[in-house]
Structure 1
């Protein structure tokens, strides 16, 4: 019951703790600036890199304190300072690892399909075969798996006191130690956030494109202020639900006896 019970706890925490919206909105605004063009985009990228660690430390601490039965009494401002260096280092390390994996996986797909074929697909003059689509899908699945291996580095820093490097290994241990739970969490989290993300991505970021070429053109075009505002609102909603769910799920797994030891065999999650 860990997967769905954690989501129910998430809804309780979100509805009874309005201050969480302020944290989520800040994330959304930084992401919106990062999606802009020119100097604004540069400023947004800097804010995301150096502002997120402080926000995560404070945000996660407030979420944890709002959980039913929680005895957390750490102040948000204290958490923002205490975990900043480790969260910054861990985010950089995980980003580098994921980028390297993405380059290797992406390079393999490009090498298999061929640069000219991919260029033709992006230009709308060709389409991928079923085999090529399968190869691209397998590559995407492999990259997504790697991303999920490190996705709990931030909770490992805030709740387990891990350093930058230690948080990555702790995240991997947590995923394998609670594998069935994590699979269920991934499904629920993806569905919950996609309800907002996918329509906004298609209608706003891709301008309702129905072809690959149209999507590429829309993605490369400068984004108007109204669209940036819509992205900020959507990001606020998904951040509020997604990050609260991550904290509730992680705490539920580490507080429970079967999942408290990352090396122990995990029990099955059920719906």
Structure 2
């Protein structure tokens, strides 16, 4: 029960390690600024590129050190500096891979549906057929699968000391070497974060839109300060739980030292 036990351990770490909230809040604020438009969005994008690698190094190191039985004693500030270059490079590489794959998948779907028809759907003058919706669904699942293949590059850098290029290949090896567990992890992580992300996306980012045209219009409109704050809070919660869970799950699958297994951790946490 690695998937469930890791999640239980993550929740316990979150409640016992308040400093993680501060890091998660920084993630949330940057993510909210990045989703805004105009100069605010530009600042958010710059912070996303330059500051997040340092935050990842610090957050993962603190979360790893908070695990029961962990022998990690690296300071967060030291970790932020030590892993910055590798995390920065790996983020660029992973982003490039995902963009290329998204272009191929998206281009294939667009070619199947047709540009004019797709544009008509966005304008509200046409609607997708069930077959076309199915094609979009298959494309979305395929893209998500590719994203998950590379999603553990950051844990590979911080927890395994991999370089930028080595972290991507390590993520691929980890996913296919623990495929059954990774599928379970993906289901749990997606379900947990969606509880917060989906309502915020629909009610705040998309302004409760019920049509494609309304969603596109709302997404392109400037985001007021109140909405940015709500997005920041939601992102803080999902980051706090999601990234801590990611560290615990990765360690549970790779670390064979005493106390690193979630089931053993439960014994140490018990009263």
TM bucket normalised to smaller: over 0.9
Q: 1:10 aligns to what? A: 10
- Alpha carbons 2:30, 2:48 under 8 Å: kept: yes
Partner of 1:254: 254
- Measured against aligned partners, the alpha-carbon deviations of 1:216-250 in whole angstroms (never above 9, x if no partner) come to 11111111110000000000000000000000000
Matched position secondary structure for 1:238: helix
Structure 2, gaps ≥5 residues long: 261-271
Residues in 2 aligned to 1:124 and 1:161: alpha-carbon distance in whole angstroms: 50
TM-score normalised to structure 2 length: 0.93
Q: Distance in 1 between the 2:125 and 2:40 partners?
A: 34
Match of 2:103 in 1: 103
Question: What SS class does the counterpart of residue 162 from structure 2 fall into?
Answer: coil
In the alignment, is the contact (CA less than 8 A) between 2:38 and 2:222 conserved in 1?
no
Give me the TM-score of the superposition, normalised by structure 1.
Answer: 0.93
Q: Which residue of 2 aligns with 1:231?
A: 231
User: Is 2:37 the partner of 1:37?
Assistant: yes
CA distance in 1, matches of 2:256, 2:71: 16
Query: How far 1:256 sits from its partner (Å)?
Result: 4.4
Question: Counterpart in 1 of 2:265?
Answer: none
1:198 maps to 2:198: yes
Q: Which runs of 5+ in 1 are unaligned?
A: 261-271
Structure 2 counterpart of 1:75: 75
- Asked whether the equivalents of residues 58 and 77 of structure 2 are also in contact (C-alpha less than 8 Å), the reply is yes
CA distance in 2, matches of 1:81, 1:220: 36
Instruction: Work out whether 1:245 is the aligned partner of 2:210.
Output: no
Question: 2-side partners of 1:229 and 1:58: how far apart?
Answer: 24
For residues 157-196 of structure 1, the aligned pairs below 5 Å read 157-196=157-196
Conserved in 1, the CA contact under 8 Å of 2:27 and 2:239?
A: yes
| Counterpart Cα distance in 1 of 2:19 and 2:163 | 28
Rounded Cα–Cα distance in structure 2 between residues aligned with 1:127 and 1:39: 34
2-side partners of 1:31 and 1:5: how far apart? Answer: 29
- The yes-or-no answer on 1:152 pairing with 2:152 is yes
How far did residue 37 of structure 1 move? 2.0
Distance 1:23 1:9 in 2: 19
Name the CA distance, whole Å, in 1 between partners of 2:19 and 2:237.
13
**Structure 1 runs (4+) greater than 2 angstroms displaced:** none
The corresponding residue for 2:92 is 92
